[in-house]
Structure 1
Amino acid sequence: MATEPRIPNDIRDLDYQDITGFVTRDDPTSHPTDTGGYADVFIGSYNKGDGERMKVRCFYNSGCFGAKLLKVAIKVFRIPLRNEKVEQYLIRETAVWSRLHHPNILRFLGLADDLGRHGVPALISPWCNNGTVMEYLKDRPLDDRFRLILGIADGVQYLHDDDVIHGNLKPSNILISHEGLPLLGGFSRSHLLNYRGFTTRPNGTCRYQAPELFEEEARYTKASDVYAFGMTCSEIWTGLPPFAGYTQDASIILQVWKGARPACSSPCSEETSLLWKLLERCWMKEPEERWPIGIVRHELGKLVETFRELEKVGRLPIFGVL
């Protein structure tokens, strides 16, 4: 019987680009631009240089990639001392993120030893001036939300086709590129199926977590990603987070266990009604009852054609907007 491959125990055994010395923080004295559960994010610049080693291939169309100086996000672990647990976090995130190449995935540029804390390298990715998907929509309320949902579905399908579980899908982990493309990021809780060494217990944001993740010995799965996708899309479509009336995690978990889900507004547009029926298949209580993301993406594509037909007869005044 074949043994499952295992992720390395040493970061140096991974295949990534070492860009130490080529990235600088724009303002070394500034506070973080963003903070997460265990890391801070700073803005910097990546001087790609002229050598082959430093050329960053333009995988998706982005004008900023053509310049020699690239604006980047510098993710720094917030730790008092270097320890084995933090190193494992770094190894797992690098092992997953460095292998991903898709137009709807935030690109991983490499690691920089000189920008981390206590010898733990910083993770470098392109800086997205448009911010997260909800920040983007706040500034552009008339943008085509359905287009964004399609792009997110494409990104999740790419991950699942490659047997990658995202594990922390939510609006704050979806950034918007210079051209308005949704980019999946936040791979700190992701893992590769059929690989040993990924033992992260579910510990994400309750509003987007599937009910089975609140159980003992729970593990992230493709089905739990689909649930989170459905919750994320409901927020993108309506502008309201799931269970917006609850602020405490315990209250949200109780509502999830009772079977509560985001409600479709009444009355609602025909467009919203059709989308909601699809989202309901994403957040079914039992994981095996949820559609795989490939079917979800296929059905979303069919909805595009339906919406176009409704537009032709004047039943959708503005495509993609409530």
Structure 2
Amino acid sequence: MSTVALKPEAIPSPTFGYRLDPRGNSLNLIRLVLALSVLFAHSWHIVGAGNGPGFRGENLGGWAVAGFFGISGYLITASRFSNRIGTYLVHRVARIFPAFIVCLVLMAFVFAPVAFLIQHGSLQGFLSAPTTPLNSVFANLGLRIVSYDIAGTPAGVPYPGAWNGSLWTLYFEFMCYLLVAMLGFIPLVRKTPWPIVAAFAASVLLWANIAAVKPYLQSNLDFELAARLIPYFLGGAVVQVLSSRLGIHRIAGPASIVVAALSIMLVDGYGGQLAAPFIAYGLLWISTWLPQPRLIARHDISYGAYIYAFPVQQLLAVFGAYHWGVWWFTVAATLCTIPFAAASWLFVERPVMRRAKKSI
């Protein structure tokens, strides 16, 4: 398999290290690995084997999502500060919504009918059984997932009643997009990095005191999840706004990973959020030297892998594959997910994004 040689950009930042080369990095590969890590973490639940491997109260999937948000914070903040608001929002909607909607439709009218047929022996009543397929699509169109089952499927599996346990994070991802969009209107935010740093610090402080805040919001779960995830996104944003001063450096990279690990191990409750800039920086540093296959460099299938992995896993479980155990089930799910991810990229994501760029 041919690979692309990856090196930091030749032009150094004004003070320290090198700027991340937007073409000479392996972020596509890293995001794909994170997506498949979420798949692996979910395999434990879907085969009924517990929560799987974890670290400091968070399983592997949770840490992978933290990595996703950190990388996203870095890239999306750069997009906001280099584009007008209209262009920025069109790009963000084009990146998230079309593939998401296609996934909803496929789950409702391809995955769920197969499961319903296996459960009932026919499709009679499928279109009207609660939650109806059309309602499952419509109810979830706004990214906030309120309906996880479709027509009573999947059932008879270790993790029943949910076709996609990954999509819920997209609501909070887009919330972060809107947060950065609003911050971009503040002139001071564009002139100095410190407002973003202050926003990150405030988000960590909020999560560190979430138990004291929850009663005033009637223990609103959406607020709690947002408070948990936004620091990871803003951690990546911090790295972005400091990138003109602090570039990628061969010593700072591994040092950031060590600092992140120490923060997570030593700080109870909010060590991960506190470590968010170091997690993002460490992943960016890895992307400067980790070889990436040319095929992956050209085709970013990480989003497709993320949104299709769970329904593919559940469909395999409907056919009884959960009896294979976590490891063989994960291998099968990965092999079955990749074609869906590739199709999503080739026929939905890339064409829509190209059209969005041409329309502005």
**What TM-score do the two structures reach when normalised by structure 2?**
0.22
Structure with higher RCO (Cα < 8 A, 6+ apart)? 2
Normalising by structure 1, we get a TM-score of 0.24
Higher helix share: 2
**Structure (1 or 2) with the greater strand fraction:** 1
